């Protein structure tokens, strides 16, 4: 399911003889989800053929985990007074931690997975 991009993304793809760059703004959409082997990310800019574009990326779990670690290591470079972006990143990271803490339901079991840290 695609959702509107809340801000902006820039993508560059460089080959020895070609360079492609694209911007995806608030008029664009994205989809991000996990699959059996990693993280899938799709950015789409709808419209006429001359402006329409999309990128599809897949990062295996170990690479994505390393990317998260590298991002965490660079948080100190953020402006300390950038409260809005810090809060948004913290909220999303906490949501990922909570989701990972959920015990998966057994295959064939119709019950929903329950959270380990369910608030009272």
pLDDT in tens, the chain (120 residues): 799 999 999 999 999 999 999 999 999 999 999 999 999 999 999 999 999 999 999 999 999 999 999 999 999 999 989 999 999 999 999 999 999 999 887 766 544 444 444 444
The number of angstroms, rounded, from the C-alpha of 56 to the middle of its chain's C-alpha atoms is 12
Assess contact for 36 and 16: CB atoms under 8 A: no
Q: Range of 94's domain? A: 3-101
Assess if residue 87 is contained within a domain: yes
Assess if residue 114 is contained within a domain: no
Q: 43 burial class (0-12, 13-18, 19+ CB within 10 angstroms)? A: buried
Assess if residue 48 is contained within a domain: yes
Q: What is the pLDDT of residue 108?
A: 61
pTM of the model: 0.77
**CA 86 → CA 65, 72, 75, distances in Å?**
20, 11, 9
Assess if residue 112 is contained within a domain: no
Assess if residue 115 is contained within a domain: no
The number of angstroms, rounded, from the C-alpha of 108 to the middle of its chain's C-alpha atoms is 29
Number of domains in the chain: 1
Assess if residue 111 is contained within a domain: no
Beta partners for residue 38, in sequence order: 60
């Amino acid at each position: 399911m695609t959702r509107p991009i809340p801000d902006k993304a820039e993508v560059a793809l460089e080959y020895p003889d070609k360079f492609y760059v694209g911007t995806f703004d608030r008029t664009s959409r994205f989809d991000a989800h996990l699959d059996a082997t990693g993280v899938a990310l799709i950015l789409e800019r709808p419209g006429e053929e001359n402006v329409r574009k999309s990128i599809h990326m897949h990062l295996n779990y170990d690479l994505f985990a390393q990317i998260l670690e590298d991002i965490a290591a660079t948080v100190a470079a953020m402006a300390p007074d950038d409260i809005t972006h810090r809060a948004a990143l913290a909220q999303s990271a906490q949501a990922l931690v909570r989701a990972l803490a959920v015990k998966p339901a057994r295959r064939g079991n119709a019950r929903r997975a329950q959270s380990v840290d369910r608030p009272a």
